[in-house]
């Protein structure tokens, strides 16, 4: 089955999960498709009038792909701590994007310069680990932060680390995504 068919399935599951969460539809059930039964890690990103409205996801493949998308869609719409839960009135105006993550690959580095040389702008999602803290940026964040040093500094801030902290003692992993998105609805 073509990749676009998988994207349509994932987008449909995400939208149906949000509709169910809002009381606008039945509980979604992943259709019988072997790809949805494989373990997968996804992020579901919601935008409203072109602005971020919620983004929640999984970095590890701990659930079946269909279940992961449903769980993350509900969380993006209702529990992203940066936003109030999505309302019924916003549902028809929100655009859904699903990102399917590759398995993270740890990066071997000893200096910040070494790490920055290994990051692939516009391609890599990056996870930064500092003890019990971690943070990630999807590859889509490169659109707002195209310079690797700025990308890394913002990721340090997201992890609650000072920008000036050297990367000694930190760990990093990269991943890529396949993504599908709905068109942005016309603003009201």
Locate the DSSP E strands across 42-120. 42-48, 51-57, 63-64, 94-101, 105-107
Starting from the edge strand earliest in sequence, which strands make up the sheet with 133-137, in order?
105-107, 171-175, 125-130, 133-137
The pLDDT, as a whole number, for residue 187 is 67
pLDDT-based confidence at residue 2 (cuts at 50, 70, 90): low
Taking only the tens place, the pLDDT of each residue in 152-168 is 999 999 999 989 888 88
What is the per-residue pLDDT for 83?
96
CA separation for the pair 36, 53 (Å, rounded) = 26
pLDDT value of residue 1: 46
User: Percent of the chain having pLDDT more than 70?
Assistant: 97
- Nearest residue to 40 via CA among 7, 2, 66: 66
Task: Give residue 75's pLDDT.
Answer: 98
Domains recognised in the chain with CATH numbers: 3-101 (3.30.700.20), 105-175 (3.30.1490.150)
- Give the pLDDT mean for 74-98: 97
Of 3 and 122, which is predicted with more confidence? 122
**What pLDDT is recorded for position 3?**
63
pTM: 0.92
pLDDT of residue 177 exceeding 50: yes
> For residue range 107-153, what is the model confidence (pLDDT) as tens digits?
999 999 999 999 999 999 999 998 888 999 999 999 999 999 999 99
């Amino acid at each position: 089955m073509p990749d676009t068919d998988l994207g349509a399935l994932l987008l449909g599951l995400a939208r149906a999960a949000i509709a169910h969460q809002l009381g606008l539809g039945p509980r979604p059930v992943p259709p019988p498709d072997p790809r949805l039964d494989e373990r997968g890690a996804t992020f579901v990103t919601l935008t409203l009038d072109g602005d971020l409205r919620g983004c929640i996801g999984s970095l590890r493949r701990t659930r079946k792909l269909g279940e992961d998308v449903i769980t993350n869609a509900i969380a993006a719409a209702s529990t992203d701590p940066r936003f109030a839960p999505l309302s019924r009135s916003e549902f028809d105006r929100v655009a859904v994007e699903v990102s399917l993550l590759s398995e993270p690959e740890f990066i071997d580095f000893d200096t910040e310069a070494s790490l920055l040389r290994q990051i692939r702008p516009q391609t890599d999602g990056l996870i930064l680990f500092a003890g019990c803290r971690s943070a990630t940026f999807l590859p889509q964040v490169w659109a707002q932060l195209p310079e690797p040093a700025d990308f890394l500094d913002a990721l340090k801030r997201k992890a609650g680390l000072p920008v000036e902290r050297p990367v000694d003692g930190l760990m990093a992993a990269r991943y890529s995504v396949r993504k599908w998105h709905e068109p942005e609805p016309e603003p009201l």
